[in-house]
Amino acid sequence: MVDRLGLKVDVDTLEGMREGVPALLRLFERHDIRATFFLSFGPDQSGRAVFRLMRPGFLKKMMRTRAVEMYGWRAMLRGTLLPATWIAANSPSLVREIEAAGHEVGVHCWNHVLWQDHLPRLSRERVEEELRRAVDAYVDALGHPPHSCAAPAWMVTASSLEVQDSFALDYCSDVRGEAAFMPRMNGRTFRTPQIPTTLPTLDEVLGVEGVGREGFNDHLLTRMIRPSEVHTVHAEAEGRAYRDLLDELLTRLAERDRKVVPLSDLALSIRLEELPVHEVVVEAFPGRAGRLAQQGELSRDSARESQPA
Protein backbone atom coordinates (compact mmCIF):
# COMPACT_ATOMS: atom_id res chain seq x y z
CA MET A 1 0.00 0.00 0.00
CA VAL A 2 1.13 3.52 -0.77
CA ASP A 3 2.46 5.53 2.19
CA ARG A 4 -0.05 7.99 3.60
CA LEU A 5 -0.05 11.27 5.49
CA GLY A 6 -3.19 12.09 7.46
CA LEU A 7 -3.53 15.88 7.36
CA LYS A 8 -5.27 17.50 10.33
CA VAL A 9 -6.16 21.20 10.17
CA ASP A 10 -7.01 22.75 13.53
CA VAL A 11 -9.08 25.95 13.40
CA ASP A 12 -8.63 27.82 16.67
CA THR A 13 -9.51 31.44 15.91
CA LEU A 14 -11.80 33.72 13.93
CA GLU A 15 -8.94 34.75 11.66
CA GLY A 16 -8.11 31.10 11.05
CA MET A 17 -11.73 30.42 10.07
CA ARG A 18 -12.36 33.52 7.94
CA GLU A 19 -9.00 33.84 6.22
CA GLY A 20 -7.09 30.60 6.74
CA VAL A 21 -9.83 28.11 5.84
CA PRO A 22 -10.81 29.62 2.43
CA ALA A 23 -7.14 29.91 1.49
CA LEU A 24 -6.49 26.28 2.51
CA LEU A 25 -9.52 25.11 0.51
CA ARG A 26 -8.00 26.74 -2.58
CA LEU A 27 -4.55 25.30 -1.82
CA PHE A 28 -5.89 21.77 -1.30
CA GLU A 29 -7.96 21.98 -4.47
CA ARG A 30 -4.87 22.96 -6.45
CA HIS A 31 -2.99 19.97 -5.00
CA ASP A 32 -6.05 17.74 -5.41
CA ILE A 33 -5.91 16.49 -1.82
CA ARG A 34 -8.41 16.04 0.99
CA ALA A 35 -7.83 16.68 4.70
CA THR A 36 -9.67 16.82 8.04
CA PHE A 37 -10.68 20.20 9.48
CA PHE A 38 -11.26 20.22 13.24
CA LEU A 39 -13.29 23.34 14.01
CA SER A 40 -13.62 25.47 17.11
CA PHE A 41 -17.30 26.48 17.10
CA GLY A 42 -17.67 28.85 20.04
CA PRO A 43 -16.08 32.07 21.26
CA ASP A 44 -12.68 33.21 20.08
CA GLN A 45 -10.86 34.17 23.25
CA SER A 46 -7.43 33.60 21.80
CA GLY A 47 -6.36 36.98 23.12
CA ARG A 48 -6.33 35.39 26.55
CA ALA A 49 -3.02 33.95 25.38
CA VAL A 50 -1.59 37.30 26.37
CA PHE A 51 -2.25 36.37 29.98
CA ARG A 52 -0.34 33.15 29.53
CA LEU A 53 2.75 35.31 29.27
CA MET A 54 2.82 34.84 33.01
CA ARG A 55 3.46 31.15 32.56
CA PRO A 56 7.12 30.11 32.59
CA GLY A 57 8.48 29.26 29.18
CA PHE A 58 5.67 30.91 27.27
CA LEU A 59 7.39 34.20 26.61
CA LYS A 60 10.45 32.38 25.32
CA LYS A 61 8.28 30.39 22.95
CA MET A 62 6.42 33.50 21.77
CA MET A 63 9.73 35.11 20.85
CA ARG A 64 11.14 31.99 19.25
CA THR A 65 8.14 31.24 17.05
CA ARG A 66 7.30 34.85 16.30
CA ALA A 67 3.77 34.38 17.56
CA VAL A 68 2.56 37.72 16.22
CA GLU A 69 3.56 36.75 12.70
CA MET A 70 1.94 33.36 13.20
CA TYR A 71 -1.37 34.47 14.68
CA GLY A 72 -1.60 38.21 14.00
CA TRP A 73 -2.24 40.99 16.51
CA ARG A 74 -6.02 40.86 16.16
CA ALA A 75 -6.10 37.20 17.19
CA MET A 76 -3.80 37.90 20.11
CA LEU A 77 -6.04 40.67 21.41
CA ARG A 78 -9.34 38.88 20.75
CA GLY A 79 -11.33 38.31 23.93
CA THR A 80 -9.26 40.91 25.77
CA LEU A 81 -9.43 44.33 24.07
CA LEU A 82 -11.61 43.09 21.20
CA PRO A 83 -14.91 41.32 21.94
CA ALA A 84 -15.01 37.53 21.76
CA THR A 85 -16.96 36.26 18.76
CA TRP A 86 -18.12 32.79 17.82
CA ILE A 87 -15.91 31.02 15.32
CA ALA A 88 -17.43 28.20 13.19
CA ALA A 89 -20.90 28.55 14.76
CA ASN A 90 -21.15 31.96 13.06
CA SER A 91 -20.00 30.63 9.67
CA PRO A 92 -22.27 27.64 8.87
CA SER A 93 -22.02 28.22 5.11
CA LEU A 94 -18.22 28.04 5.27
CA VAL A 95 -18.50 24.83 7.35
CA ARG A 96 -20.68 23.37 4.58
CA GLU A 97 -18.20 24.57 1.96
CA ILE A 98 -15.42 22.56 3.62
CA GLU A 99 -17.49 19.39 3.50
CA ALA A 100 -18.78 20.07 -0.02
CA ALA A 101 -15.15 20.26 -1.21
CA GLY A 102 -14.72 16.63 -0.08
CA HIS A 103 -12.92 17.24 3.20
CA GLU A 104 -13.80 15.71 6.54
CA VAL A 105 -15.16 18.13 9.15
CA GLY A 106 -14.62 17.19 12.81
CA VAL A 107 -15.21 18.85 16.15
CA HIS A 108 -12.31 20.63 17.84
CA CYS A 109 -14.26 22.28 20.67
CA TRP A 110 -16.70 24.96 21.76
CA ASN A 111 -14.38 27.22 23.79
CA HIS A 112 -10.73 26.53 22.93
CA VAL A 113 -9.22 28.67 25.65
CA LEU A 114 -11.45 27.23 28.38
CA TRP A 115 -10.50 23.66 27.42
CA GLN A 116 -6.82 24.43 26.99
CA ASP A 117 -6.41 26.29 30.29
CA HIS A 118 -8.95 24.66 32.59
CA LEU A 119 -9.87 21.15 31.42
CA PRO A 120 -8.46 19.26 34.44
CA ARG A 121 -10.57 21.45 36.76
CA LEU A 122 -13.84 21.12 34.82
CA SER A 123 -16.55 18.75 36.07
CA ARG A 124 -17.68 15.93 33.82
CA GLU A 125 -20.97 17.83 33.31
CA ARG A 126 -19.11 20.96 32.23
CA VAL A 127 -16.96 18.99 29.79
CA GLU A 128 -20.11 17.39 28.39
CA GLU A 129 -21.73 20.82 28.00
CA GLU A 130 -18.68 22.07 26.06
CA LEU A 131 -18.75 19.17 23.62
CA ARG A 132 -22.56 19.19 23.39
CA ARG A 133 -22.58 22.83 22.31
CA ALA A 134 -19.93 22.15 19.66
CA VAL A 135 -21.77 19.06 18.41
CA ASP A 136 -25.09 20.97 18.28
CA ALA A 137 -23.48 23.74 16.22
CA TYR A 138 -21.93 21.08 13.98
CA VAL A 139 -25.31 19.41 13.39
CA ASP A 140 -26.96 22.80 12.79
CA ALA A 141 -24.44 23.52 10.03
CA LEU A 142 -24.10 20.11 8.39
CA GLY A 143 -27.30 18.25 9.22
CA HIS A 144 -25.56 15.14 10.49
CA PRO A 145 -23.59 14.26 13.63
CA PRO A 146 -19.77 14.42 13.67
CA HIS A 147 -17.70 11.26 13.27
CA SER A 148 -14.56 12.59 14.89
CA CYS A 149 -13.19 14.95 17.50
CA ALA A 150 -9.75 16.35 18.30
CA ALA A 151 -9.19 17.92 21.71
CA PRO A 152 -7.72 21.44 21.86
CA ALA A 153 -4.05 21.70 22.79
CA TRP A 154 -3.79 17.91 23.09
CA MET A 155 -5.42 18.08 26.49
CA VAL A 156 -7.53 15.18 27.73
CA THR A 157 -8.73 13.77 31.04
CA ALA A 158 -10.50 10.52 31.86
CA SER A 159 -13.71 12.62 31.98
CA SER A 160 -13.20 14.07 28.52
CA LEU A 161 -12.49 10.61 27.06
CA GLU A 162 -15.65 9.32 28.73
CA VAL A 163 -17.73 12.18 27.32
CA GLN A 164 -16.29 11.59 23.83
CA ASP A 165 -17.27 7.92 24.11
CA SER A 166 -20.88 9.00 24.73
CA PHE A 167 -20.98 10.74 21.32
CA ALA A 168 -20.31 7.44 19.50
CA LEU A 169 -17.53 8.84 17.32
CA ASP A 170 -15.54 6.73 14.86
CA TYR A 171 -12.26 8.02 16.26
CA CYS A 172 -10.60 10.86 18.15
CA SER A 173 -7.27 12.51 17.49
CA ASP A 174 -6.46 14.00 20.88
CA VAL A 175 -2.93 12.91 21.57
CA ARG A 176 0.63 12.72 20.28
CA GLY A 177 2.01 9.29 19.57
CA GLU A 178 3.07 6.62 17.12
CA ALA A 179 0.05 4.78 15.72
CA ALA A 180 -3.66 4.14 16.31
CA PHE A 181 -4.59 2.65 19.69
CA MET A 182 -7.37 2.26 22.26
CA PRO A 183 -6.84 4.76 25.10
CA ARG A 184 -6.62 3.80 28.76
CA MET A 185 -6.50 6.35 31.57
CA ASN A 186 -6.96 6.16 35.35
CA GLY A 187 -7.48 2.40 35.15
CA ARG A 188 -10.25 2.59 32.53
CA THR A 189 -10.19 1.64 28.88
CA PHE A 190 -12.30 3.73 26.52
CA ARG A 191 -14.24 2.76 23.41
CA THR A 192 -13.17 5.42 20.91
CA PRO A 193 -9.89 4.71 19.11
CA GLN A 194 -7.20 7.37 19.06
CA ILE A 195 -5.38 8.32 15.87
CA PRO A 196 -2.46 10.34 17.24
CA THR A 197 -0.55 13.16 15.60
CA THR A 198 2.85 11.58 14.89
CA LEU A 199 4.86 14.57 13.63
CA PRO A 200 5.95 17.80 15.33
CA THR A 201 4.01 20.99 14.59
CA LEU A 202 5.51 24.10 13.01
CA ASP A 203 5.60 26.06 16.28
CA GLU A 204 7.37 23.20 18.07
CA VAL A 205 10.18 23.08 15.52
CA LEU A 206 10.78 26.71 14.48
CA GLY A 207 13.87 28.07 16.11
CA VAL A 208 14.72 24.82 17.85
CA GLU A 209 18.14 23.27 17.22
CA GLY A 210 18.86 25.59 14.32
CA VAL A 211 15.79 24.66 12.28
CA GLY A 212 14.38 27.79 10.63
CA ARG A 213 11.51 28.39 8.27
CA GLU A 214 13.58 27.14 5.30
CA GLY A 215 14.53 23.92 7.03
CA PHE A 216 11.12 22.97 8.43
CA ASN A 217 9.90 20.84 5.52
CA ASP A 218 13.25 18.99 5.32
CA HIS A 219 12.97 18.30 9.03
CA LEU A 220 9.40 17.08 8.67
CA LEU A 221 10.13 14.84 5.68
CA THR A 222 13.04 13.12 7.45
CA ARG A 223 10.65 12.39 10.33
CA MET A 224 8.19 10.57 8.05
CA ILE A 225 9.36 7.00 8.52
CA ARG A 226 6.11 5.11 9.10
CA PRO A 227 3.65 3.98 6.39
CA SER A 228 1.00 6.18 8.05
CA GLU A 229 1.85 9.51 9.63
CA VAL A 230 -0.37 12.31 10.94
CA HIS A 231 0.59 15.97 10.63
CA THR A 232 -1.28 18.83 12.31
CA VAL A 233 -1.36 22.33 10.83
CA HIS A 234 -3.21 25.41 12.05
CA ALA A 235 -5.52 27.45 9.82
CA GLU A 236 -4.23 30.64 11.46
CA ALA A 237 -0.58 29.78 10.68
CA GLU A 238 -0.25 27.46 7.66
CA GLY A 239 -3.44 28.98 6.19
CA ARG A 240 -1.95 32.47 6.33
CA ALA A 241 1.66 33.59 6.92
CA TYR A 242 3.09 30.07 6.47
CA ARG A 243 0.96 28.93 3.55
CA ASP A 244 3.91 28.84 1.14
CA LEU A 245 5.60 26.31 3.43
CA LEU A 246 2.57 23.99 3.36
CA ASP A 247 2.30 24.50 -0.41
CA GLU A 248 5.91 23.35 -0.80
CA LEU A 249 5.37 20.41 1.55
CA LEU A 250 2.39 19.19 -0.46
CA THR A 251 4.43 19.39 -3.68
CA ARG A 252 7.29 17.42 -2.14
CA LEU A 253 4.90 14.78 -0.74
CA ALA A 254 3.43 14.26 -4.21
CA GLU A 255 6.95 13.84 -5.62
CA ARG A 256 7.57 11.14 -3.02
CA ASP A 257 4.28 9.36 -3.67
CA ARG A 258 3.08 9.92 -0.12
CA LYS A 259 -0.69 10.32 -0.42
CA VAL A 260 -2.32 13.05 1.68
CA VAL A 261 -5.62 11.87 3.20
CA PRO A 262 -8.21 12.92 5.78
CA LEU A 263 -7.92 11.08 9.10
CA SER A 264 -11.22 9.31 8.32
CA ASP A 265 -9.32 7.37 5.63
CA LEU A 266 -6.85 6.18 8.28
CA ALA A 267 -9.76 5.31 10.58
CA LEU A 268 -11.27 3.11 7.86
CA SER A 269 -8.25 0.80 7.91
CA ILE A 270 -8.41 0.33 11.69
CA ARG A 271 -9.46 -3.11 12.87
CA LEU A 272 -10.87 -2.30 16.29
CA GLU A 273 -10.47 -5.78 17.72
CA GLU A 274 -6.78 -5.78 16.84
CA LEU A 275 -5.89 -2.34 18.19
CA PRO A 276 -3.44 -2.34 21.10
CA VAL A 277 -4.45 -0.62 24.35
CA HIS A 278 -2.09 2.13 25.46
CA GLU A 279 -2.03 4.34 28.52
CA VAL A 280 -2.62 8.04 27.89
CA VAL A 281 -0.12 10.15 29.83
CA VAL A 282 -0.08 13.93 30.24
CA GLU A 283 3.53 15.06 30.26
CA ALA A 284 5.97 17.71 29.05
CA PHE A 285 6.66 17.64 25.32
CA PRO A 286 9.59 18.99 23.26
CA GLY A 287 8.94 22.53 21.99
CA ARG A 288 5.84 23.08 24.18
CA ALA A 289 5.51 25.26 27.26
CA GLY A 290 2.80 23.13 28.88
CA ARG A 291 2.09 19.42 29.21
CA LEU A 292 0.09 17.46 26.67
CA ALA A 293 -1.56 14.07 26.24
CA GLN A 294 0.62 11.36 24.74
CA GLN A 295 0.42 7.71 23.83
CA GLY A 296 2.09 5.98 26.75
CA GLU A 297 3.09 2.41 27.42
CA LEU A 298 1.27 -0.60 26.08
CA SER A 299 -1.30 -1.65 28.66
CA ARG A 300 -1.13 -5.20 29.95
CA ASP A 301 -4.88 -5.22 30.54
CA SER A 302 -7.25 -6.29 27.82
CA ALA A 303 -9.33 -3.54 26.19
CA ARG A 304 -12.57 -5.40 26.28
CA GLU A 305 -12.85 -6.66 29.85
CA SER A 306 -12.53 -3.29 31.58
CA GLN A 307 -14.82 -1.15 29.49
CA PRO A 308 -17.33 0.89 31.44
CA ALA A 309 -20.89 -0.33 31.08
Distance CA 137, CA 141 (A): 6
Could you give the CA distance from residue 53 to residue 67 in angstroms, rounded to a whole number? 12
Among 6, 7, 8, 10, binds Zn ion (CB under 5 A): 10
CA distance 178 to 229: 8
Using CB under 5 A as the criterion, what x/- string covers residues 248-287 for binding Zn ion? ----------------------------------------
Stretch that binds Zn ion, among 4-12, 81-89, 180-188, 252-260 (CB under 5 A): 4-12
Residue 10 and residue 233 in contact, taking contact as beta carbons nearer than 8 Å? yes
List binders of Zn ion among 145-174 (CB under 5 A).
152
Stretch that binds Zn ion, among 6-14, 78-86, 220-228, 297-305 (CB under 5 A): 6-14
CB atoms < 10 A from the CB of 81, how many? Answer: 11
Shortest Å distance, C-beta 133 to Zn ion: 16
Tell me the window of 10-18, 61-69, 181-189, 206-214 that interacts with Zn ion (CB under 5 A): 10-18
Which lies closer to Zn ion via its Cβ, residue 10 or residue 170? 10
Of 151 and 182, nearer to Zn ion (C-beta) is 151
Tell me the β-bridge partners of 181: 194
Task: Using CB atoms within 10 Å of the CB of residue 240, give its burial: 0 to 12 exposed, 13 to 18 middle, 19+ buried.
Answer: buried
**In angstroms, what is the minimal distance from the CB of 59 to Zn ion?**
20
Query: Site size for Zn ion, by CB under 5 A?
Result: 3
Residue 152 vs 296, nearer CB to Zn ion: 152
Instruction: CB nearer to Zn ion: give 202 or 303.
Output: 202
Do 22 and 118 touch, CB atoms closer than 8 A? Answer: no
Single-letter amino acid code for the residue at 63: M
Binding status of residue 12 toward Zn ion by CB under 5 A = yes
List, in order, residues 6 or more apart from 287 with CB less than 8 Å away: 61, 200, 201, 203, 204, 205, 208
Contact partners, residue 122, CB within 8 Å, separation at least 6: 114, 130, 159
Residues that bind Zn ion (CB under 5 A): 10, 12, 152
